[in-house]
Amino acid sequence: MKIITCECGYVVRGGTDEELLAAANDHIRTAHPQLVGTISGEQLLSMAETVD
């Protein structure tokens, strides 16, 4: 499982990079629409942590 903790405190989870990116992009669209298109998948993955 991988997670990204957003600056707003929301934790995005995904079992694969693709799932994590989809969840992160969904969160960005709904909670931070001003950031849509400004953060690449590569940048998001660089923020990810692997957890058990």
In the prediction, which pLDDT does 52 show?
85
Residues 50, 44 contacting (CB under 8 angstroms): no
**9: helix, coil or strand?**
coil
**What pLDDT score was predicted for residue 23?**
98
Give 38's DSSP letter.
Answer: T
Report how many domains make up the chain. Answer: 1
Please identify every stretch of the chain with a pLDDT value under 70, giving residue numbers as ranges.
none
32, 18 contact by CB (below 8 A): no
DSSP bridge partners of 49 = 3
Domain span at 13: 2-50
| Average pLDDT in the chain | 97
